[in-house]
Amino acid sequence: MEKVCPVCNEIREIKHICKKCRENMVDKGRTQEYFDDYSADDPINDKGDYCVHVFKCTKCSSIENVNIKKIII
């Protein structure tokens, strides 16, 4: 058995709604891949059971970090 992020592995799509304007936010990938100031092998955002993704609002472009709970496959 293995713990994987369902979003990274395209098992499940996560819907996230913008707190400001209630529009759909789109997944921009894992936090450390989105922000340049993290090196790729920096484990700072690997919280064990969670994978941290960046979601961006399609309307107001605000950005939120979302903890995606890993599932066991």
Q: Which residues bind to Zn ion, rule: CB under 5 A? A: 5, 7-8, 18, 20-21, 23, 51, 57, 59-60
Q: Minimum distance between the CB of residue 61 and Zn ion, rounded to whole angstroms? A: 7
Residue 57, both tokens: 């609002």
Angle (CA) 34 39 40, round 5°:
75
Q: Minimum distance between the CB of residue 70 and Zn ion, rounded to whole angstroms? A: 8
Nearer to Zn ion, 7 or 54 (CB): 7
CA dihedral over 45, 47, 51, 55, signed as positive or negative? negative
Q: Minimum distance between the CB of residue 19 and Zn ion, rounded to whole angstroms? A: 8
